Amino acid sequence: MSFTPLRSKARNLYSWFATRPDLFESERSPRKTAGWAIVAGIMAVVALLVYLNPTATAEILGGRVRAGLAIAGAFALPPIIIVVSVVMIFVGARRWRVKGGGVLQNPVIHGFSARFPVDQAVAALLRGSIDSAGVIAALSAMQKDAGDERLLTIWSSDADRAMYIGVLRVDGNTQWIDSEPVRVEPANYFDAKKHDLAATLGKTSVADV
């Protein structure tokens, strides 16, 4: 079955996760939700102080004539930030997990040029734990490539030994997922973060990290 390219405004696989409800489910991240709620609360307090004390606010900022733009910002920015924070609570705080399983993390994302032999690198990553040195070599080669026309992103859930590798094509401010992300077999699952660190440090084994 052919794969229809997906357009994304983010450097992740969220748009693909959304097409596979049989494999993934979304939820609001408690940490991100709390973070944006705190920002909204702080801005609400700031807005209250500004609106209840307009004269004092103007004087603190240097007077209405000398600090017109600063005063405008003091009165306008808090409610704007509150609205943005509320929107982010419902939109930006989303995360994905394996359906019925653990949360998906994104330990590795690298940019590379269109000429980089990405198929060979992905093949090495798919061998995973049975060729740990090959995984490190592939990640090391990608790190040394000075390009930003493509992105390789790895998403994994340690609890489920689930790992998905995607390649995104950079097109201006948007990314395209031209081919369906591939899954590393559970038996070949590896610690992507440690292997990537080993590649960064010039090591040949995660035992040396």
> In order along the chain (209 residues), what is the average pLDDT of each group of 10 residues?
87 95 90 82 82 71 55 71 77 84 96 96 97 97 93 96 97 94 97 97 91
What is the structure's pLDDT at 71? 62
What does the alpha-carbon distance between residue 197 and residue 209 come to, in Å, rounded to a whole number? 7
Residue type, 59: E
What does the alpha-carbon distance between residue 188 and residue 55 come to, in Å, rounded to a whole number? 66
What does the alpha-carbon distance between residue 165 and residue 16 come to, in Å, rounded to a whole number? 12
Identify any residues that bridge with 154 across adjacent strands, giving them in sequence order: 108, 165
What is the structure's pLDDT at 39? 85
What is the structure's pLDDT at 72? 64
Alpha-carbon distance values, 133 to 124, 138, 160 (Å): 9, 9, 23
What is the structure's pLDDT at 73? 65
What is the structure's pLDDT at 74? 67
Report the predicted TM-score, pTM, of the whole model to 2 decimal places.
0.78
What is the structure's pLDDT at 2? 78
What does the alpha-carbon distance between residue 97 and residue 23 come to, in Å, rounded to a whole number? 9
Angle between helices 68-90 and 30-52 (to 10 degrees): 150
